Amino acid sequence: MPLRPDTVEMLARARADLRMGVPVVLFNGGRAALVLAAETLSPERLAQVQALEGVPVLAITARRAETLKTAAYDGDLARIVLPDDATLAWVHGVADPADDLKMPMKGPFLAMRDGAADLSRAALQLVKSARLLPAALLLDVPATFATDNNLTPIDLTKTADALTATSPLSEVISARLPLSVSEAGRLHIFRPEDGGEEHYAVEIGQPDRAKPVLTRLHSACFTGDLLGSLKCDCGPQLRAALAMMGDEGHGVLLYLNQEGRGIGLANKMRAYSLQDQGFDTVEANHRLGFEDDERDFLIGANILKQMGFSQVRLLTNNPKKVEMMQGAGLTVTERVPLKVGHTAHNAGYLKTKADKSGHLL
Ligand SMILES: Nc1nc2c(ncn2[C@@H]2O[C@H](COP(=O)(O)OP(=O)(O)OP(=O)(O)O)[C@@H](O)[C@H]2O)c(=O)[nH]1
Ligand SMILES: [Zn+2]
């Protein structure tokens, strides 16, 4: 392997840059665009972009555009022309719904209809995968711009697939971990090749690989799993799943670091803040510019296959998880309901999930 970073490694570098507010440059064919994440944009860098030649655009998802009542001419996204006098507060106001209710009259916005949206689309995928608000400032620049300014260049002709693909994972280590539910516990650590977060598998007992294994795909919920939040049912689900595996003597619990249905804890807290303003869990995600569920469910399936499992009895109330597992080539012999932790605080949340996301109550 050459010493030069490959496309996947360049993407990881670009994510780190964007999280720190450093621009990156996206290329496609003969075009190049300077990209900055709206969330981490500084006033100095905004001023520098405004001093360059050309018209900067702020790319937002169609979900965010819907809330801002602006047309998404590109289908899944809108490219809003940055007004000449735009301030950092203007950029943040478009990207972040926190003060939508206080300032309902944002706009009017001028959305671009002409020109290709591929660079904007890739920029949004990149900032989303960096767990930032899905909004990016773009400006067309000459091809030499990345080299001249020592910025990370991303060539979409080589990386477009890697931007959306599920990264392969490999097991780093596993060790015995006696648990209160079973002394025969073992924790496996899986690391993705794209520099993303590690995921964990808790194996209880020694499940027979030739038989369906009692399985839980648990998405990380810091607030519910660790803090005992009453807003969701995650903590009780986590503990009930482990207890069932302990009772049966075997099972596998995957603890997937996809906090907030894949939007990250900071964005989940933004969603909670919107929920305090009266929006439900799905509406809050949409106002932020995200889909209801941004998780990559293939990660769990890949880990199970690597561990040698092909048949599962899946502990879930979410029919989409069952579909995904089957789509990924695993046989779900049974869906085992997991109804615990219902409180007065999370009744509305659970009802919304049943009404809008198809969960079985
Ligand atoms: N974005 C967002 N994420 C949330 C919210 N409440 C909980 N979560 C996250 O949702 C994930 C849990 O997903 P759920 O939809 O409860 O459950 P599920 O895993 O899809 O389905 P089950 O298998 O039936 O539990 C965790 O990653 C939580 O952090 C919320 O209001 N907004
Ligand atoms: Zn939760």
The predicted-structure confidence for 343-361, as pLDDT tens digits, reads as follows: 888 888 888 888 888 888 7
Can you tell me the distance from the alpha carbon of 50 to that of 215, in angstroms, rounded to the nearest whole number?
53
- Angle at CA of residue 230, ends 224 and 232, nearest 5°: 60
pLDDT over 70 at 159, yes or no: yes
What spacing in Å lies between the alpha carbon of 261 and ligand 2's midpoint?
A: 9
The answer to whether the annotation marks 281 as part of a ligand binding site is: yes
Average pLDDT over residues 184-204: 97
The pLDDT of residue 319 is above 90 = yes
Amino acid identity at 259: E
> Rounded to an integer, what distance in angstroms lies between the CA atom of residue 240 and that of residue 337?
11
Confidence of residue 341 (pLDDT cuts 50, 70, 90): confident
Q: Please give the mean pLDDT across all residues of the chain.
A: 95
Report the range of poorest mean pLDDT among 124-128, 193-197, 240-244, 350-354: 350-354
Mean pLDDT over 184-201 rounds to 97
Query: According to the model, what pLDDT value does residue 168 have?
Result: 95
Determine the distance separating the centroid of ligand 2 and the alpha carbon of 196, expressed in angstroms.
21
Calculate mean pLDDT across residues 58-72.
Answer: 96
Name every protein residue with a CB atom under 6 angstroms from any ligand 1 atom: 219-221, 232, 234, 237, 258-261, 263, 268, 271, 281, 285, 316-318, 321, 338, 353, 359
Please report the domains of the chain, with CATH numbers, ordered by start residue: 7-163 (3.90.870.10), 169-258+295-357 (3.40.50.10990)
How many residues belong to the chain?
361
144 known member of a binding site? no
pLDDT for 155:
94
> What dihedral do alpha carbons 267, 113, 86, 84 form, nearest 10°?
160
Is 187 labelled as part of a ligand binding site?
no
pLDDT for 168-181, tens place per residue?
A: 999 999 999 999 99
pLDDT band of residue 339 (cuts 50, 70, 90) is: confident
Q: Higher pLDDT residue, 354 or 84?
A: 84
Which residues share a beta bridge with 312? 213, 332
The set of catalytic residues is 293, 295
Atom of ligand 1 nearest to the CA of 338: 24
What are 356's two structure tokens?
């809008």
The residue-averaged pLDDT of 208-223 equals 98
Say which residue the tokens 């995200």 belong to.
290
**C-alpha 268 to ligand 2 mean position (Å):** 10
**pLDDT at 105 > cutoff 80:** no
287 phi-psi bin (left φ>0, alpha ψ -120 to 50, beta other): alpha
Instruction: Encode pLDDT of 234-273 as tens digits.
Output: 999 999 999 999 999 999 999 999 999 999 999 999 999 9
Mean pLDDT of 50-76: 96
Q: How much is the average pLDDT of 287-304?
A: 96
Q: Which atom of ligand 1 sits closest to the CA of residue 285?
A: 1
3-state secondary structure 106-142: CCCCCECCCCCCHHHHHHHHHHHHCCCCCEEEEEECC
136 forms bridges with which residues in the sheet? 37, 59
Mean pLDDT of 330-355: 90
Coil, helix or strand at residue 21: coil
Helix, strand, coil percentages in the chain from 3-state DSSP, rounded to 5: 40, 20, 40
**Per-residue pLDDT for 160 more than 70?**
yes
Q: What is the ipTM of this complex?
A: 0.97
pLDDT of 1 strictly over 70: no
